[in-house]
């Protein structure tokens, strides 16, 4: 039995959900998202509650049960609150700034890195050493943050690079004489 799958997904005020076949469409103040579930689960909407149940007792049906419920919960959270990832830049001369739809990063290379922000997410740089990625799709927000971090991952000796705000960098001791 899936502990996650058993829990119903509650719809906050201002969020509506419709099910047509295996497709769930959720609309809220931040936008609209949809998800098409596999034939192994049944999705129902009753009185501001979405329930996901498996259509059998097969291993695949039980796997899809918890996963489908989590995806539906992410749809509801995305259209009501949204998702955000915060990145920190540390290092001498390392900085970020937004110019239109392009994030300009100075990361110690001989050139500036220009990162084009994809549609569906907003990237802001409140300080020169902070980057905030926001959007309604958790997969897209996480992927954009990972792509930005990929330009200069934090190194273990001084911690220079781009890291997530809550990330811990395991520090190594340098060479000794």
Inform me whether the pLDDT recorded for 49 exceeds 80: yes
Domains 3-80 and 83-164 share a fold: yes
> What residues are paired with 104 via a beta bridge?
97, 114
Question: How many angstroms separate the CA atoms of 24 and 33, rounded?
Answer: 8
Q: Which two tokens stand for residue 157?
A: 């000796």
> What residues are paired with 34 via a beta bridge?
25
Domain boundaries, the chain: 3-80, 83-164
pTM of the shown model: 0.87
- pLDDT band per the 50, 70, 90 thresholds, residue 1: low
Give, in degrees to the nearest 5, the angle at Cα 54 between 49 and 56: 155
- pLDDT band per the 50, 70, 90 thresholds, residue 176: confident
Q: Given this model, what pLDDT does residue 33 score?
A: 92
* pLDDT digits 0-9 by tens, 29-42: 999 999 999 999 99
* pLDDT digits 0-9 by tens, 2-30: 788 889 999 999 999 999 989 999 999 99
Nearest to 87 by CA among 120, 30, 127, 139: 127
DSSP state of 49: E
CATH code for the domain defined by 3-80:
3.90.930.12
Superfamily of domain 83-164: Ribosomal protein L6 (3.90.930.12)
* pLDDT digits 0-9 by tens, 123-150: 999 999 999 999 999 999 999 999 999 9
Handedness of CA 143, 74, 89, 96 (dihedral sign): positive
* pLDDT digits 0-9 by tens, 75-113: 999 999 999 999 999 989 999 999 999 999 999 999 999
* pLDDT digits 0-9 by tens, 50-85: 999 999 889 999 889 999 999 999 999 999 999 999
Q: Given this model, what pLDDT does residue 26 score?
A: 93
């Amino acid at each position: 039995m899936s502990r996650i799958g058993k829990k119903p997904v509650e719809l906050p005020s201002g969020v509506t959900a419709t099910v047509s076949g295996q497709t769930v469409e959720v609309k809220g103040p931040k936008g609209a998202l949809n998800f098409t579930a596999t034939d192994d689960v049944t999705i129902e909407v009753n009185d501001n509650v979405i329930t996901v149940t498996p259509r059998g007792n097969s291993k695949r049906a039980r796997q899809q049960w918890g996963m489908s419920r989590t995806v539906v919960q992410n749809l509801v959270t995305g259209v009501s609150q949204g998702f955000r990832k915060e990145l920190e830049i540390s290092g001498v001369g390392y900085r970020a700034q937004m110019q239109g739809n392009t994030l300009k990063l100075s990361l110690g290379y001989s050139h500036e890195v220009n990162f084009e922000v994809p549609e569906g997410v907003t990237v802001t740089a409140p300080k020169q050493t902070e980057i905030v990625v926001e959007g309604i799709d958790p997969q897209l927000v996480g992927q954009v943050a990972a792509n930005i971090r990929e330009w200069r991952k934090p190194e273990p000796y001084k911690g220079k690079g781009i890291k997530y705000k809550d990330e811990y960098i395991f520090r190594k001791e340098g060479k000794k004489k």
